[in-house]
Every structure is written in C-alpha cells, then in structure tokens.
Amino acid sequence: MTPTHLGQTSTLPASPEAAVLDYVPNPRLGQTYLVRFAVPEFTSLCPVTGQPDFAHLVIDYVPGDTIVESKSLKLFLGSFRNHAAFHEDCTVGIGMRLFEEMKPAWLRIGGYWYPRGGIPIDVFWQSAAPPADLWLPDQGVSPYRGRG
C-alpha cells in the first residue's frame, strides 16, 4: 500500500470519481478509537443553478485494518469544488465511499450546509450503531442561528 499522494506533488482531481483515496495500515490495530476530520470550508455546486454551496463536514470513524491518508482525503474533498450535486448526495456519497473502500469498524458523517434560499440543510449518515465502548463526542457544530 504505497500512498499515491503522500510526499508527492499532486493536483486537484477533476471529479470525485477521478480522485484516488489512499489508505495506510492502522497503527493501533485492535484498539477502539475515534478518528475525526473536520472540514469547515467544504464546497460543491448546486446541480440546478451552478452556484456554490458551502458546508461544514465532520467525518468520524473507528478504523479497521486501515486509516485514510489525510492528503488524499483533502484532494478528494477538494474535487467537489466543481462537482454539481445536491447536499444529500454529496454528504452520503462521501460517507459511503469511505466506508466501502476503507472498511472501518464504524463511520458517520455530518454535513452542516449553509443556507441557500433561507433554509439550512443538515445531512447525517452512519454505517451502523457506534461500538458500545467508543467515546463519541458531539460533532461540535452549532445549529444555524441566522443573524444573532
């Protein structure tokens, strides 16, 4: 499992489908622990208007045999910048791709989307119930308050 991007010059993939995610061996195999990626500046495009959509994503997972290499994850998430899809498709698709490829013991993703047309849309997906012995902190994203 030689990473494609780590230590290399990499360009932003043209699409999420073209992005290559790298996985490396779990350094704490057999331990139940949580890995969290917070992505406060995620962007994609509205599939109807082509205008940008913005979200704060939080990805939590319990590793299995591998962990996702963070540079490849950043490039994958950055590839959504010019990708047109609804909030639900982006959020659930990211979670499902990571789950299907990495095969963690458990994964969840929270997509906290900023309002468009006056309505914030939050999208949540998880692979199953979390392990019973997992310390699972709140995702820490405040609900949308409008002007406060």
Q: Residue 125's Cα: distance from chain center in Å?
A: 11
Residues in CB range of 123: below 8 A, 6 or more apart: 87, 88, 90, 91, 92, 110, 111, 113
The residues carrying an active-site annotation are 46, 53
Collapsing DSSP states into helix, strand and coil, what is residue 112? strand
**What's the pLDDT at 23?**
96
Amino acid 1: pLDDT? 66
- For β-strands 66-68 and 23-25, DSSP reports them as antiparallel
CA nearest to 83, candidates 128, 50, 29, 45: 45
Cα of first residue to Cα of last residue in the chain, in angstroms, is 49
What's the pLDDT at 117?
Answer: 82
Q: According to the model, what pLDDT value does residue 9 have?
A: 85
- How many other β-carbons are positioned within 10 Å of the β-carbon of residue 64? 15
Q: What is the pLDDT along the chain (148 residues), one digit of tens a residue?
A: 677 777 778 899 999 999 999 999 999 999 999 999 999 999 999 999 999 999 999 999 999 999 999 999 999 999 999 999 999 999 999 999 999 999 999 999 999 999 988 889 999 999 999 999 999 999 999 888 776 5
pLDDT value, residue 4: 79
Residue 136's pLDDT is 97
The confidence score (pLDDT) of residue 108 equals: 98
User: What does the pLDDT read at residue 2?
Assistant: 72
